[in-house]
Amino acid sequence: MAFLPFYIPKQKRLRVVIVGGGYAGMAALTVLSRYAPDTEVTVIDPNEQHIKMTHLHETFRYPLSDLQVSFTDLSKRFGFHFIQAALPLNETVLQQWQADRSLTLNEEVLHFDYLLITTGGGNKGNEPAKAVMSLQDFMTNSGSDLLSDKLAQNKTDSEPVISVIGGGATGIQFLFEIKQFLHRKKIKSKLRLIHSRERLLEQFPDGFHIYVESRLRELNIEFYPNTYYCKQQDNKILLRDKKSQEEFVLPSHLTLLFLGKKQENLYEANAFGQVLVEQKTLENIFVAGDCSHFNSFGSNSLSAQSAVRKGKLVARNILRHSSVLNFLEPYLHHELGYVVSLGHADAVGWLASEGNVITGLPALAIKELVESQYDLLLMGIDTYLV
């Protein structure tokens, strides 16, 4: 057994249920497997596959299957029981589960010593229009297939126009991948970016916006800042100017919505990752990932980096809470950097300090290195320092 400070196991074999098989859930699973391999772990997720969400924009170059790992394969690798199902969650239900130390799923009672919620924050979804797509669509089909099919359905004689809504990291990464895909396939199409704020990537240093905006000009991608998206109708989109509040219409044969993550079912947690309901700590229920907000000095950003760090920490705390010492570790992680890719050969990011903005291939190399850490983690090789 690997060494975990302040963890002196009791004789009892732990039963842990993980609800959600995303980044945080898988990170927690690997910690339990490493430090307490005899733990009886059950993973519950509505999907058959674990998806590396931060790579979805790359499906304009690679097949979607490259980003999927079946829970069946992972269960064989890490020795857990997998149940494909969706669980209704709310604070009342969690309080009942804490009291019972069990939950009922498909008429089966699952007893647990600890429950970990890692269901993610969700993404703002699609509107019912055939010319509109969101991140959810790219979870089931590759970007190259989706875009080719949608453009093939365009029956107009005019050059098609593609609108990307949202200038956050996801929207920007998809935008540049689409631009390069159109160039490789020699598809004539106009591309535009619509963003509700003045500045792109506003959560990052000014250098991010400056660099990305310069690349938009170089690639002749139209940019509409301070513009709200209203709706898609036929081959047009209705927009509203943020300052004047005037509405206007532009041609758009395909619209991609990247409006950010939904903060539904957000659970408050103490500094150790235990769920708080009405200021009361649920001792045996932990939370991690985008569905969590830790009351601590650590980062609560909606990123894979924070999700992995939270998942690893709460798994360590589950083991410590079950041990003789019951000495828990507070969540203090701060992001070490962040990189946004701009296609296969360009990126912008910061490393170590937000003032240290890097661009081009060096930034892309850092992104690949960081993301390879997670790939190794899924193989059972933990290269994270903390």
Predicted confidence pLDDT, tens digits, the chain (386 residues): 577 888 888 878 999 999 999 999 999 999 999 999 999 999 999 999 999 999 999 999 999 999 999 999 999 999 999 999 999 899 999 999 999 999 999 888 999 999 999 998 765 555 556 789 999 999 999 999 999 998 888 766 678 999 999 999 999 999 999 999 999 999 999 999 999 999 999 999 999 999 999 999 999 999 999 999 999 988 899 999 999 999 999 999 999 999 876 666 799 999 999 999 999 999 999 999 999 999 999 999 989 999 999 999 999 999 999 998 889 999 999 888 899 999 999 999 998 888 899 999 999 999 888 889 999 999 999 988 76
Q: What amino acid is encoded at 200 in this protein? A: L
Q: How high is the pLDDT of residue 148?
A: 92
Separation of first and last alpha carbons in the chain:
18
Q: How high is the pLDDT of residue 128?
A: 56
3-state secondary structure of 330: coil
Beta bridge partners of 255: 132, 163
How many separate helices (H) and strands (E) can be counted in the chain? 8, 23
d(CA 132, CA 270): 40
Chosen CATH of 132-257 out of 3.40.50.300, 1.10.3720.10, 3.50.50.60, 3.30.70.141: 3.50.50.60
CB 255, CB 151: distance < 8 Å: no
Q: H or E stretch including 269?
A: strand 267-269
Would you kindly state where each structural domain of the chain is located, as residue ranges? 15-122+262-335, 132-257, 336-386
3-state secondary structure of 163: strand
d(CA 217, CA 230): 25
Those residues whose C-beta lies under 8 Å from the C-beta of residue 274, and which sit 6 or more positions away, are: 281, 282, 283, 285, 286, 287, 317
CATH number of 15-122+262-335: 3.50.50.60
Is the sign of the CA dihedral 375, 379, 381, 382 positive or negative? positive
Phi, psi torsion values for 267, nearest 5 degrees: -105, 130
Q: How high is the pLDDT of residue 313?
A: 97
Q: How high is the pLDDT of residue 82?
A: 97
Q: H or E stretch including 302?
A: none
Q: H or E stretch including 153?
A: none
Identical fold, 15-122+262-335 and 132-257: yes
CA distances, 23 to each of 51, 133, 212 (Å): 9, 24, 27
pTM of the model: 0.93
Locus of tokens 């070490």: 336
Angle at 207 between CA 134 and CA 385, to 5 degrees: 75
CA distances, 4 to each of 78, 199, 270 (Å): 19, 44, 21
3-state secondary structure of 240: strand
CB 47, CB 84: distance < 8 Å: yes
C-alpha torsion 239→243→244→245, nearest 10: 40
Beta bridge partners of 343: none
